[in-house]
Structure 1
Amino acid sequence: MSPAESEDEFTGIHCRLDELLAERGMTLTELSARVGISIVNLSVLKNDRARAIRFSTLRAVCEALDCEVGELLALSER
């Protein structure tokens, strides 16, 4: 595995899923049921461990949370 493929690679993208769920009084379990995505996969996204996200997933999450992509994903610094 090359250094660019290491598990702790910093993408510079922060997922605000935790914050948006809290603002809406929604649990990860409820979001999972609404969008049809496993809690495990949503947790990976929530904890900034995702390396990619499908547009269909992004759209489903944004629709369920009534938010824009820019509210869910933000550039971050390390």
Structure 2
Amino acid sequence: MTPAAEEEETGIHCRLDELLAERGMTLTELSARVGVSIVNLSVLKNDRARAIRYSTLRAICDALGCEVGELLVLS
């Protein structure tokens, strides 16, 4: 697969940074709460994730007190 294909836009934006800021929470704190590594959360936060498990999505939303549609939006 070419580098360009790997970085293909999905049309989905993760608002993790904004939600963390609104709640005064750090990525480190979220990582501890949901049991997902900081590296994996960073990949998600920077819109570089290619997939996310439903259980991870649920854990993040529970920790942030948000709905999936507040975390992932069409761009």
- TM tier, smaller: over 0.9
Residue equivalent to 2:66? 67
Aligned to 2:49: 50
Structure 1 gaps of 5+ residues are: none
CA distance in 2: counterparts of 1:10 and 1:40, whole angstroms: 20
Matched, 1:6 2:18: no
Percent identical among aligned pairs is 85
What displacement does 1:7 show?
2.2
In structure 1, distance between residues paired with 2:72 and 2:13: 6
Moved over 4 A (4+): none
User: TM-score, length-normalised on structure 2?
Assistant: 0.95
Computed over aligned residues only, the root mean square deviation of the Cα atoms, in angstroms, reads: 1.4
Greater Cα offset, 15-24 or 5-14: 5-14
Residue 25 (structure 1) aligns with: 24
- TM-score w.r.t. the length of structure 1 is 0.91
